[in-house]
Structure 1
Amino acid sequence: MDSEQPSFADVEYGNRRRVSKREQFLEQMEATIPWQVWIDLIEPYYYLDRPGKTGRKAKPLAMMLRMYLLQVWFNLSDEGVEDAIYDSFAMRRFLGVDFTVEQVPDATTLLHFRHLLEKHQLGQRLLAAQNDLFEREGWIMRGGTIVDATIIAAPSSTKNATGARDPEMHQTRKGNQWYFGMKAHIGTDAGTGYVHSVTATAANVSDITEAVHLMRPDDTAGWGDAGYLGVDKREEITGDPHLAGVTWHIAARKSQLARMHPHERAIESRKAGVRAKVEHAFLIVKRDFGFTKTRYRGLAKNLHRLHVAFALANWLMRARAVALTTAAA
């Protein structure tokens, strides 16, 4: 999204001998994300040049979308992403800001844009649009879904304006460790590992309860870890004409593995090989995008961010797959 006329800073920056990892990443995303598809989806809800609108002219939608994605990718606050754009030439160029004619949208403008996206649940629609595009291009292999969940921590301190912890977050134990926060539940395409469904609950909600919301209408098989044992016997599954016919491949408990015959352990190994695909998306969202802690209060705002983050994770996985294919050619 460069300016038509390069500035002196553009020329100076272009003479560098080394390209940073951040710049490589942003160039990769620039070339991968279907910008016009996402802009067309958001535009009906955006107030750019709205009749009767008074005050300062709104920033271009493309610029606000890019600023919001920078916030998600680099796990920044509203003020943090504004400062980062001023500090980083790579971010400024990605945003398309020319300081000779305009300034970076301020934190309040980004806050209003994020609230607009949340109000209309556009994060979920961005993920749905990405899934539709992947299916049209033949990048998704229908028929099977892997379900899994991960804990995302929330601030447990009561030293805040309300003097209380977030009431929508809860405590849970995993192994010998206690956590306070929420869970992100995802359904991923068993063939490719692309995420197609996302839900969010408090951390104390059992993984198995969300399985019904993560399966696609045409799925014939489901995979999950031992936390989903008994999913095929649950009322919401047996009572659904389609889901009742799904074949479930659920991992055995670790305590059972030692007593298994070699061929049974081989079956478990094959199950694990399929389930491993679900970890790629979690790895990107939690390690690369830094979504290990909630940034907002309540499940709704964090779920919106999860929808956007997993849509972006899918595009990053797609870009990496294309790069590997190109390198091997």
Structure 2
Amino acid sequence: ARNDAAHVSHAERFGLSDEGIEDAIYDSYAMKRFLKIDFSIERTPDATTLLQFRHLPEKHDITRKMFDDVKERPDAAGLIMHGGTIVDATIIHAPSSTKNATKTREPEMHSVRKGNQWFFGMKIHSGTDAATGYVHTITGTAANVHDIVQAHALIRADDHSVYGDSGYLGVEKRAEILEDPHLSSVDYRIAKRPSQNRTTKAYAGVNWDKKIEHEKTSIRCKVEHPFL
């Protein structure tokens, strides 16, 4: 189990697939030394073993329990303010060769285009306390699932305002929001797209619009801190 854990950690750090890390151990003396593997008395776990080890915490819901424990401690100490949530999503990139036990691609992973680049993997959707920057809710989907789809699952029962980037525009019109008494009453303070900002000096409210968007950004920036 010790070597399995080191394998998985090393694979994630260097973006190697399970097959890639297995090959690297045989090909690289430095890798073998780092993992403290002696081929005279043991063999390196194969790619299937690494896959099974990686899914163990998920199978026993360990990661969820760890997250809940970490989250509840500052909450119990009164360090989380409540009342406002920042929603966001980030892609967790995985090697495109990542396979499951049946030698097929993981069904939880998918390809998605972001800008001019393609990514393969999953997406983490996070709800962050707007006042303190503590992450209070996390969900996971395939990378091609749009950010807005999971927004409703990131909002707490005592939230009265929600902040998000322009990817969440129109969230208040979605069925899961409109059909929920609490979610439909929340004030959604979503950033405008740059093209939506009226910059002409003939528009009397141009400075006011800039101030509003600046205030949204100053609050929303906290959501980036957990991913640094």
Q: Shorter-chain TM-score: which interval?
A: 0.7 to 0.9
- Over aligned residues, Cα RMSD in angstroms? 3.6
Higher helix share: 1
Per the normalisation by structure 1, the TM-score is: 0.52
* Aligned residue among 172, 182, 189 for 1:232: 172
State the match for 1:125 in structure 2. 65
| Pair 1:211-2:151 in alignment | yes
Per the normalisation by structure 2, the TM-score is: 0.73
Kindly indicate whether the alpha-carbon contact (under 8 Å) linking 1:155 and 1:165 is maintained by their aligned counterparts in 2. no
Aligned pairs, how many? 199
Kindly indicate whether the alpha-carbon contact (under 8 Å) linking 1:182 and 1:201 is maintained by their aligned counterparts in 2. yes
Q: Percent identity?
A: 51
Relative contact order (C-alpha < 8 Å, sep 6+): which is higher? 1
Greater mean deviation of Cα atoms: 273-282 or 122-131: 122-131
Aligned to 1:149, the other structure's residue is in SS state strand
| C-alpha deviation, 1:171, in angstroms | 2.1
Kindly indicate whether the alpha-carbon contact (under 8 Å) linking 2:51 and 2:101 is maintained by their aligned counterparts in 1. no
Aligned-partner Cα distance in 2 for 1:204–1:163: 21
The residue type paired with residue 249 of structure 1 is: R
* Aligned residue among 142, 148, 151 for 1:202: 142
| Pair 1:136-2:81 in alignment | no
State the match for 2:90 in structure 1. 150
The residue type paired with residue 209 of structure 2 is: E
* CA distance 1:170–1:85, shift in 2 (3 Å): closer
- Tell me, which stretches of 5 or more residues in structure 2 are unaligned? 26-30, 38-43, 201-205
- Tell me, which stretches of 5 or more residues in structure 1 are unaligned? 1-58, 88-105, 284-329
| Pair 1:246-2:191 in alignment | no
State the match for 1:281 in structure 2. 226
* CA distance 1:157–1:123, shift in 2 (3 Å): closer
Aligned to 1:155, the other structure's residue is in SS state coil
Aligned to 2:181, the other structure's residue is in SS state coil
State the match for 2:105 in structure 1. 165
Kindly indicate whether the alpha-carbon contact (under 8 Å) linking 1:222 and 1:248 is maintained by their aligned counterparts in 2. yes
| C-alpha deviation, 1:126, in angstroms | 1.3
| C-alpha deviation, 1:254, in angstroms | 1.3
| Pair 1:177-2:117 in alignment | yes
